[in-house]
Amino acid sequence: MTSLIRTSELVAGWQQPATRPMSLVLQPGEVVGLTGPNGVGKSTLLAALAGRAQVFSGQLELAANLRLALQTQEVPPVDGLPLSGAELLALTGATADGLPPWLADRLNVRLDRLSGGQRHFLALWAILYSPADVVLLDEPTNNLDAAGVAYLAEHLRDRAAGGVGLIVVSHDADFVAQACDRVIAMEAPHVR
């Protein structure tokens, strides 16, 4: 089986290194969780995998023609933006099939008229079900209620069953245990 992502002793950061050397392999259909305290570089690692942060050393190999989708913790401003949920899904190429009933019936509502939790879940769905081979999720359970977290965990598994590889950063230990095939606990980089 050809891996989707392979790193070897990868050190990533922005202006300076922010992670310990990280080696990991992501296979199609696998859900990998990244956990650890704040400041160990979990989000930075995702950004490096997506080509947004700098790789200082080590190796990063991506499968040929890899389609990658990244959900960050940054919430795009939508106030005054006349964009509906259906239009957001269309922009990302995501399907509405499988959306929870509490959101499916609100797809024609403008995003700035949805609750924060509804907007967050819809943005997650737009990334999760976009046409990607790898989906990177950074703290996806933030702003979700218990029903939203359970629904997300179930659909991460469904997405992986279709051959997509997922890497999930989360502080929610129950969610990680439920949704991930394996978990990598990241540690703080050595300070010199």
| pLDDT tens, residue order, the chain (192 aa) | 589 999 999 999 999 999 999 999 999 999 999 999 999 999 999 999 999 999 999 999 999 999 999 999 887 777 788 899 999 999 999 999 999 998 999 999 999 999 888 998 999 999 999 999 999 999 999 989 999 999 999 999 999 999 999 999 999 989 999 999 999 999 887 655
Question: How far is it, in rounded angstroms, from Cα 49 to Cα 91?
Answer: 23
Q: What is the pLDDT of residue 192?
A: 52
Q: What is the pLDDT of residue 149?
A: 93
Question: How far is it, in rounded angstroms, from Cα 69 to Cα 124?
Answer: 10
Q: What is the pTM (predicted TM-score) of this model?
A: 0.93
Top CATH class of 5-185 equals alpha beta
